[in-house]
C-alpha cells in the first residue's frame, strides 16, 4: 500500500512535470491523489456584575463570525471521536500520543487566551491614547497591530512608554511582552495524514520549468470534509448577511484609485483630498453608501476568526501541524473569503521583499467548494496552478529557509467565470510575535457605528475592491505615507 501510494505520488508529479496540463487537473489529484480587592461582598458583587455587563456589551457591539461556527464545531466533536479510533487503526499514531498532543495544544491555546485577556485591553488603551494623528509616536504604536508590518524595536519600545505612565499593571503587561520568546518556522515538511478514515497524501506540484526556486507547493485533497466546508461557508454567509445590513465605509490606497473607479463607472465627479476623512484614506459614510451602489458591490467578502475562538480553529491548526509541521503559535488569523462571478485577486506575494522576518512564511488555502469555471490559484513564475475543489488544500512557502521573501512565490486568484468561490486561508509567520493570532484592537478612525464593515480598493489596474468584516490600520498608515500627495 505504501509502495502504491509512492508510485501514485510519483505519477502525479510526473504528469505535472510533463507539462501536459498546466498545474494539476482536478481528476488527476482526485485519483491520485477577569480580579477583586479585599473590599466587602457587595462591592465585589457589583464589580463582577459590571464585568459581565461589559463582556456582554462588547459581544453585542462587536459581533464576529466565531459565534456562527457552532455548526462546524459540532461536526468537530463527532470528528474527534472518530479520529481517536482512527489513531488506534494506525499504530504509528497511538491514541496516547494523540491525547498528549491534544493536551499540550489546548494548554498552549489556554495560555494564549489568558495572555490575550490580560493584555489586550491594555494594548487597546495604549493605542487609543497614542492614536492622535498629530503625534509622531503614532506610527510606531500603530505598527503593533498584527496585520501591518512590524519591527522588533516597536515591541521593545512599548515597555518604555508604559513605564512612563507609572502604572504597575501596565508594567506587568509590558514584562510579558518583553519575556515573549519568538518561535521560528524555517520549513514545512508535508506528510501523509489520516483524518476520519480518509488517507491524505500530499501531492507536490512541480514547477513546469524547474527554475531554481525554493518555493514548494503541495496539494491535499479532502483536507477538510464536506461537512466542515459547508459549516464554514454557512457561518461566513450568515455573518456577511448580518453585516451587510450596514453600508461599508470605503477606503482607497490613493486618490487616483478612487478617480479610476469613478471614471470606469462613468461618474463625472471631481474628487479632492478634502473628500477623505482626515487622518485616513477612507471617504465618509454618505459618499461610501453612494460608492457601494456605483461600484455595484462588485467585490469579494472576507470574514475573520482567531485562534481559540472556535473549536474548529483548534482542530484545523492541529491537522495542519500534523500534516505540514507548521506550528500553531506561528499562525495568524483564519480568513474565509468568497468571490462572486467576475472577481479575482491580483498577482502578489504573501510576504514583502524587505528585511522583515515577522512575515508570512507559508500559506494554507482550502477551497470550500467547487467552482464551475475559473477561480484557479496560479503561480505564474512556476507555471503551477490548481483548480478549486471542495476540501482541497494548497500549501506553499513564501519565504526561503533564511527568511527572505521569495519573489517567485507570486500568485493570483483567477477571476471566477462561473460559480462562486469560497476559500479558508491561514498564514504562518517565519518569526512569530506577541500579538500574532490575537484579535487586534479596532482603530478609532474613521468614526463609525460599531459593526460597520470596510471595503478596501487598491491599484485599480491590478487589484479590485475587497469587503472585510474587520478593520486593520492600513487606511491610517497609508494616509501617513501619502500625506504629501493627499494635500
Ligand atoms: C540558483 O542557482 C544558482 C546557480 O545556478 C545558485 O548559485 C543559487 O544558489 C540557486 N538558488 C537557489 C534558491 O537554489
Ligand atoms: C461626505 O462627503 C461628501 C463628499 O466629499 C461631501 O459632499 C459631504 O458633505 C460629506 N458629508 C458629511 C455629512 O460630512
Ligand atoms: C520560471 O518559469 C516560468 C514558467 O516557465 C517562467 O514563466 C518564468 O519566467 C521563469 N522565471 C524565471 C525567473 O526564470
Ligand atoms: C467587477 O470588477 C472587476 C475587476 O475588479 C471588473 O473586471 C469587472 O468588470 C467588474 N464587473 C462589473 C459587473 O462591474
Walk along the chain (487 residues) and give the pLDDT tens digit of each residue. 344 444 444 444 433 333 333 344 333 343 333 232 334 556 777 777 777 766 555 544 457 888 888 767 765 544 443 333 333 333 323 333 333 333 333 333 344 334 333 333 333 322 232 222 333 333 333 333 333 333 333 333 333 443 444 455 555 667 777 888 999 999 999 999 999 999 999 999 999 977 789 999 999 999 999 999 999 999 999 999 999 999 999 999 999 999 999 999 999 999 999 999 999 999 999 999 999 999 999 999 999 999 999 999 999 999 999 999 999 999 999 999 999 999 999 889 999 877 777 899 999 999 999 999 999 999 999 999 999 999 999 999 999 999 999 999 999 999 999 999 999 999 999 999 999 999 999 999 999 999 999 999 988 777 689 999 999 999 999 999 988 677 6
What gap in Å lies between CA 453 and CA 14, rounded to an integer? Answer: 46
How many angstroms separate the CA atoms of 480 and 99, rounded? Answer: 49
Q: What is the pLDDT of residue 484?
A: 64
Buried-state track 159-191, b at ≥16 Cβ within 10 A, e below 16: bebbeeeeeeebeebbeebeeeebeebeebebe
Atom of ligand 4 nearest to the CA of 265: 14
Question: CA 314, CA 84: separation in Å to the nearest integer?
Answer: 15
Which mutation among 252, 263, 295, 343 tests ligand 4's pocket best, with the greatest number of atoms within 8 A of CB? 343
Strand ranges (E), 166-323: 193-195, 198-200, 203-205, 217-220, 249-252, 299-305
Ligand nearest to the CA of 273: 2
For residue 214, which atom of ligand 1 is closest to its CA? 13
Q: Is 265 helix (H, G, I), strand (E, B) or coil?
A: coil
Probe target for ligand 1 pocket from 207, 209, 210, 212, with the most ligand atoms within 8 Å of CB: 212
Q: Which protein residue has the closest C-alpha to ligand 1 atom 2? A: 212
Output the residue whose Cα is nearest ligand 4's atom 2.
298
Q: Which pLDDT belongs to residue 68? A: 82
- Residue 381 Cα to ligand 1 midpoint, Å, equals 16
SS3 147: coil
- Ligand 1: which residues within 6 Å by Cβ? 212, 214
Whole-number pLDDT of residue 463:
67
Q: Strands 454-457 and 411-413, how do they pair?
A: unpaired
- Within 392-439, strands assigned E span 393-397, 411-413, 416-418, 421-429
Nearest protein CA to atom 10 of ligand 1, as residue = 212
* Gap from CA of 251 to ligand 2 centroid (Å): 15
Quick one: pLDDT at residue 406?
A: 92
Tell whether ligand 4 has an atom less than 6 A from the beta carbon of residue 296.
yes
Instruction: Say what the pTM is.
Output: 0.72
The three three-digit cell numbers of residue 187, written as one number: 520549513
Residues 6+ apart with CB under 8 A from 111: none
Which protein residue's CA is at the shortest distance from atom 11 of ligand 2? 286
Instruction: Give the three cell numbers for residue 478.
Output: 497609508
Amino acid at each position: 500500500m505504501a509502495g502504491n501510494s509512492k508510485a501514485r505520488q510519483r505519477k502525479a508529479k510526473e504528469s505535472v512535470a510533463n507539462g501536459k496540463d498546466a498545474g494539476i487537473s482536478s481528476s488527476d489529484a482526485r485519483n491520485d491523489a477577569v480580579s477583586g480587592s479585599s473590599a466587602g461582598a457587595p462591592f465585589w458583587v457589583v464589580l463582577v456584575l459590571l464585568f459581565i455587563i461589559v463582556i456582554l456589551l462588547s459581544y453585542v457591539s462587536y459581533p464576529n463570525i466565531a459565534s456562527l461556527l457552532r455548526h462546524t464545531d459540532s461536526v468537530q466533536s463527532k470528528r474527534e471521536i472518530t479520529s481517536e479510533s482512527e489513531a488506534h487503526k494506525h499504530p504509528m499514531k497511538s491514541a496516547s500520543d494523540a491525547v498528549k498532543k491534544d493536551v499540550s495544544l489546548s494548554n498552549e491555546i489556554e495560555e494564549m487566551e489568558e495572555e490575550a485577556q490580560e493584555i489586550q485591553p491594555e494594548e487597546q488603551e495604549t493605542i487609543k491614547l497614542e492614536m492622535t494623528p498629530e503625534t509622531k509616536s503614532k506610527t510606531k504604536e500603530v505598527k503593533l497591530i498584527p496585520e501591518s508590518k512590524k519591527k522588533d524595536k516597536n515591541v521593545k519600545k512599548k515597555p518604555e512608554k508604559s513605564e512612563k505612565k507609572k502604572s504597575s499593571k501596565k508594567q506587568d503587561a509590558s514584562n510579558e511582552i518583553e519575556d515573549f520568546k519568538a518561535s521560528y518556522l524555517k520549513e514545512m515538511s508535508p506528510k501523509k495524514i489520516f483524518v476520519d478514515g480518509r488517507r491524505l497524501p500530499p501531492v507536490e506540484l512541480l514547477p513546469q520549468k524547474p527554475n531554481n526556486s525554493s518555493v514548494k507547493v503541495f496539494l491535499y485533497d479532502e483536507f477538510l470534509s464536506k461537512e466542515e466546508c459547508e459549516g464554514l461557508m454557512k457561518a461566513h454567509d450568515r455573518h456577511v448577511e448580518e453585516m451587510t445590513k450596514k453600508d461599508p465605509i470605503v477606503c482607497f490606497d490613493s486618490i487616483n484609485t478612487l478617480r479610476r473607479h469613478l471614471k470606469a463607472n462613468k461618474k463625472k465627479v471631481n474628487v479632492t483630498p478634502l473628500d477623505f476623512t482626515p487622518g485616513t484614506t477612507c471617504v465618509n459614510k454618505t459618499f461610501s453608501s453612494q460608492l457601494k451602489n456605483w461600484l455595484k458591490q462588485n467585490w469579494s467578502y472576507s470574514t475573520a476568526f482567531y485562534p481559540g475562538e472556535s473549536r474548529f480553529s483548534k482542530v484545523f491548526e492541529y491537522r495542519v501541524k500534523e500534516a505540514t509541521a507548521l506550528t500553531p503559535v506561528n499562525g495568524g488569523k483564519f480568513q474565509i473569503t468568497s468571490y462572486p462571478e467576475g472577481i479575482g485577486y491580483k498577482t502578489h506575494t504573501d510576504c514583502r521583499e524587505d528585511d522583515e522576518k515577522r512575515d508570512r512564511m507559508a500559506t494554507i488555502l482550502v477551497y470550500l467548494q467547487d467552482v464551475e469555471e475559473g477561480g484557479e490559484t496560479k503561480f505564474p513564475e512556476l507555471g503551477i496552478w490548481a483548480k478549486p475543489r471542495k476540501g482541497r488544500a494548497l500549501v506553499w512557502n513564501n519565504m526561503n529557509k533564511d527568511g527572505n521573501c521569495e519573489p517567485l512565490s507570486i500568485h493570483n486568484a483567477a477571476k471566477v467565470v462561473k460559480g462562486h468561490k469560497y476559500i479558508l486561508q491561514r498564514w504562518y509567520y517565519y518569526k512569530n510575535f506577541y500579538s500574532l493570532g490575537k484579535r487586534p484592537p479596532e482603530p478609532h478612525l474613521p468614526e463609525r457605528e460599531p459593526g460597520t464593515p470596510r471595503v478596501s480598493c487598491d491599484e485599480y489596474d491590478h487589484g479590485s475592491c475587497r469587503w472585510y468584516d474587520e478593520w486593520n490600520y492600513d487606511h491610517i498608515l497609508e494616509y501617513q505615507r501619502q500625506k504629501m500627495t493627499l494635500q
